[in-house]
Structures are given as structure tokens and as C-alpha cells.
Amino acid sequence: MTPIERRLALAAAFGLPVALTFRRAAAAIDAPRASTFIQTTGNELVSAINSGAPVASRREAVAAVLRRAVDIEGVGRFILGRFWRVATPAEQQEYTKLFEDTLIHNLASRFGEYQGVKFTLGRSQANTEDDVMVSTTVERPNTAAFTLDWRVADIGGQPRIIDMIAEGTSLRLTQRSEYASVIQRNGGQVSALLAAMRQQIAQMRANER
């Protein structure tokens, strides 16, 4: 297995989305503010994951944290890319809802299944003029620790997660490429992607029964 394949496998094992990326940030954010935000978010996730509540309750608690912390709208629109402009208003609306369901459900189900998770905060540094990279180390019982970096930007006056990088490998463009591939294989129809996303959500829910 190549280093890149190993990084992607680790990310998949932890249940990370294939991609999180950003839209234009409303304002610059400094490293201390971004670091504090990730520390708070990490603590909230750890509290939800390690609460001892039933799995379903842990997933709901994790989902609530993620909805507050992630710039879901910006992530989704970037990943759809140029196809956002060719989608009808109805398709845009459905895509936004399906993307949120897919992203949050995938993350919440994975985070919520495991107890004993630990986040250790590392260094923070400006990544671009508009965002900061905050490094963390993630540990799970019986699993090798790995590095997870969080890109944080100011979105509408609030810090939000706009990207995740697992062991140095940003996953943002992979999802965009996969979505584009589905649409292109189906004659440029966004409706084909929506159908695939509906099927993915149905399969995830079926696997939880």
C-alpha cells in the first residue's frame, strides 16, 4: 500500500467524508481563534462519543455538533462545482439537502459508534489569507493514532470547518471528482447524481438496522 493509499484508508476507517472544502470566507480568522474553535469542537465531539449513551443517541449528539461546526452549504456547493450552475433550482435545493444528509449521517454514524476517542490539539498556522490550519492527533482504542488537520475560516462572522486533511492528504478534490464523474457518465444530468445520493443514504440507513 502506498503512503497516499494508507492515508486514505485511515480516513475511511475513521469515517471521514471524502471531502470538505471551502467557499470564499467572509473575513480573515486568526490562529488563536481557530485553535480555540477546534479545541471546543473536539471536546464536544469527545463528550458526545464517550457519553455512554446508546449508539443512536451518540450519533444524534455528534450530528448536532457537526451541523454547528461545518460550513455545510459552502462545502456542498464547491464539491458540485460547475454543475451547480446547470442544475435547476429544484435540483439545487434537493442536492443541498441530500449533501447535508450524506455528510452528517456518514460522520455521525462513524463517530458515534466508537468510544474512547481522544483528540490532541497541535499547532495552528495561517493556511491562506482567509483560513487557518489546526492540527490534531486522533486516537481510538486498538487503532493507530493518526494526524487530522482542520481548515477553519470565518463564515458569516463565525468560525467554521471548511476542510479536513488526514495525515497530510486533503480529501476535498476527490469527492468533487467523483460527483463530476457520476454526472458526466450520465450525459451531464445532475439528476443522476441525486439518484445516486438518495441510494447511498438509503443504504447507510439500512446498514444501521
Q: What's the chain's average pLDDT?
A: 84
| Position 207 in a domain | no
| Position 89 in a domain | yes
| Position 209 in a domain | no
Share of the chain above pLDDT 70, in %: 83
Q: Provide the 3-class DSSP secondary structure of residue 168.
A: coil
| Position 133 in a domain | yes
| Position 136 in a domain | yes
Going by C-alpha positions, the residue among 189, 170, 169 that lies closest to residue 179 is 189
Query: What global pTM score does this model have?
Result: 0.81
Going by C-alpha positions, the residue among 78, 99, 92, 104 that lies closest to residue 21 is 78
Question: What's the chain's length in residues?
Answer: 209
| Position 173 in a domain | yes
CATH code of the domain containing 169:
3.10.450.710
Residues of the domain holding 107:
3-201
Each residue of 117-129: pLDDT tens digit?
Answer: 888 999 999 988 8
- Split into its structural domains, the chain has a count of 1
| Position 31 in a domain | yes
Alpha-carbon dihedral 115, 135, 130, 175, rounded to 10 degrees: -60
HSE of 185, CA atoms in CB hemisphere, 13 A? 9
CA distance linking residue 100 with residue 89, whole number of Å: 17
Each residue of 155-203: pLDDT tens digit?
Answer: 999 999 988 887 777 767 778 889 999 999 999 999 999 999 999 999 8
pLDDT value at 5 more than 60: no
Each residue of 23-47: pLDDT tens digit?
Answer: 444 468 999 999 999 999 999 999 9
| Position 206 in a domain | no
